């Protein structure tokens, strides 16, 4: 009898060890944020940015822990494909394939093209056939043929603007506010830059892995609605002057 009880206890302990990581994973979200101006960055070894803040606030509201990393956008997209991320904040793209789905909208974003002052952009024809810096893996890299531009992929908007200043590209494409903030952060004199050419209005979304537990996804949806209703999302955006 004693031996039977001992074996039963041993089996239970082994089962607990096997199931514990699954339980922890179910309550801990792997969050990957694109490395872009104000959205995601590393400061003193800690992820910072409005995308970091809203993702972590969403998880807290849903009663979930987070492990947050900041990575280049192409890496975030790859991680969805490989199943190594549960949640992100980005503009949905075809590169996500069937490995991710939209949880809900965060806000609309205005995208534009920006060139040096001596290269006026009056309409899309002024971009045709020209080398244009676009963030690798983003919407406008995949839309290059439609816009008739020669895409020059970059890591982020800082790099795009640096290429513009050394005349490696004729224009850059990105969201209006982050481009302006990136230019300010680089200390660029606005007089050397021309007027922006509006391109499109797109939406920033919370994106979740298609393999995320449906119950966890439902908790996140409910949390998102509460954050909208009580103004938390708006307050975070205002904090970053967005």
**Does 15 map to a domain?**
no
Tens digit of each residue's pLDDT (9 = 90 or more) over 120-177? 999 999 999 999 999 998 889 989 999 999 999 999 999 999 999 999 999 999 999 8
Buried b (16+ CB within 10 A) or exposed e, 138-164: bbbbeebeebebebbbbebbbbbbbbb
List 181's β-bridge partners, or say none.
none
Q: Are residues 138 and 188 in the same domain?
A: yes
Q: Are residues 65 and 148 in the same domain?
A: no
- Domain harbouring 151, CATH code: 3.40.190.10
* Token pair recorded at residue 69: 């990393």
Supply the range of the domain harboring residue 52: 29-107+203-239
8: pLDDT strictly greater than 60: no
As a whole number of angstroms, the distance between CA 29 and CA 26 comes to 7
**Does 9 map to a domain?**
no
* pLDDT score for 188: 95
Tens digit of each residue's pLDDT (9 = 90 or more) over 196-207? 999 999 999 999
Q: Are residues 125 and 186 in the same domain?
A: yes
Q: Are residues 98 and 210 in the same domain?
A: yes
């Amino acid at each position: 009898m004693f031996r039977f009880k001992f074996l039963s206890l041993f089996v239970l302990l082994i089962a607990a060890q096997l199931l514990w990581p699954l339980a922890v994973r179910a309550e801990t979200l792997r969050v990957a944020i694109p490395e872009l101006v104000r959205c995601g960055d590393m400061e003193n070894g800690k992820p910072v940015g409005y995308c970091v803040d809203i993702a972590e606030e969403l998880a807290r509201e849903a009663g979930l822990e987070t492990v947050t990393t900041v990575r280049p956008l192409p890496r975030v997209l790859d991680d969805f494909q490989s199943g190594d991320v549960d949640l992100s904040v980005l503009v949905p793209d075809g590169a996500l394939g069937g490995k991710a789905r939209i949880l809900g909208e965060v806000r609309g974003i205005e995208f534009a093209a920006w060139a040096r002052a001596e290269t006026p952009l009056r309409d899309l024809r002024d971009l045709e056939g020209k080398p244009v810096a676009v963030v690798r893996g983003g919407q406008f890299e995949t839309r290059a043929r439609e816009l008739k531009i020669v895409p020059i992929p970059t890591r982020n908007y800082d790099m795009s603007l640096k290429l513009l200043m050394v005349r490696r590209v004729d224009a850059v494409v990105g969201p209006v506010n982050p481009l302006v903030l990136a230019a300010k952060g680089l200390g660029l004199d606005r007089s050397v830059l021309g007027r922006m050419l509006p391109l499109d209005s797109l939406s920033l979304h919370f994106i979740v892995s298609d393999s995320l537990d449906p119950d966890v996804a439902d908790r996140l949806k409910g949390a998102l609605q509460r954050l909208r209703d009580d103004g938390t999302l708006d307050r975070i955006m205002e904090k970053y002057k967005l």
